[in-house]
Structure 1
Amino acid sequence: MSINLSKGQRIDLTKSNPALKKVIIGLGWDTNKYSGGHDFDLDASAFLTGENGKVSNDHDFVFYNNLEGGNSSVIHTGDNRTGEGDGDDEEIKIEFDKIPTHVHKIGITVTIHDALQRQQNFGQVSNAYVRVVNEETNEEVLRYDLGEEFSVETALVVCEIYRHDREWKFNAIGSGFQGGLAALCKNYGLQVD
């Protein structure tokens, strides 16, 4: 049975469910119809950080141009450039036992590609959600619906998966940023050219 979370809620993933070894982080959204003339291309990313909340190297930033990180413990399944159709629009797979010891947190984010040039923001996106699915049983473990509280933001930290006493937990963040992917990279300690 899936658990629905609200912004700011934290929940244990592996302590109460020791059989949970591999998960799929499914992200989905719809775009509101408007006459801007451009498709929306939303992109999921994962930032694998140390205890300081910063990424230690480029290999720990998983996105459409770097589909694997953390010794292949985090795998992006590929870029969906339109978000059309039902179900998850993009997915990131995580295998807990393979995550390197220097990784304490995985920030799951979504950005709008070329948002400034296309004059797009998350105020034009609806029904955004993240869900955690047990990859081995295909059962949904939890779901967090982000709501409609964003207006000018072009990047979101959706959630964090974090290590606590050798167990993994989920934190429903739902925090918006202006400045797209570059702002998120800076937030997580990566230099952007």
Structure 2
Amino acid sequence: MKNSLLGFLLSSLLLLSLSSLAQSTSPIAYGEQVQASGAGRRALYQHALAWSEKGFTYAPKTDVKADAAAGTLQLRGTSKVKTLNNNKPVETAVRFEFVFRATDNGYDYNIGSFEVVPNNKQPTVTVQLDDYIAQLAADRDNSRTNNDRRVRAQASSLASEVALSFRSYMNSHEGESDDTIGLK
């Protein structure tokens, strides 16, 4: 009985560790489809555009592409992630893409396409986040700093934070129709 229980616990632990390894290699992104009744495509687009102008705090904001006719909005935001170097935090810029699309029944949005600016002196040179995390994992000091896991967790948290900010803003305007735009 004890051996079968011990075997079960060990196999469960092995399965959990394998699933966590599989999860750690997935790209960091957050996306959602939202059903919104009562608000039209134009109103949803206008709310998303207003959020991008007033509520999007991830500056500098670049590559803004807004198309009212299609109900789409796309932009890039910037934030920071911290790594440890000789037990001192080092901030590194990270850029991400926010994409919004209004539909007749609601909207969908996605936060993804993360890139890192590894050298602040060369802000135009970027590396895909997954490649940067792989470089951190290969670093000989990573067993002490855990920078690969640290950066992955911070980027994942950033994606969730952007989504929470956007959804909160959109939910505060839920049910407003096209007729109420500009009347406040």
Both structures adopt the same fold (TM-score exceeding 0.5): no
| TM-score, normalization by structure 2 | 0.31
Q: Which has the larger radius of gyration?
A: 2
| Structure number with higher relative contact order (C-alpha < 8 Å, ≥ 6 residues apart) | 1
Higher helix content, 1 or 2? 2
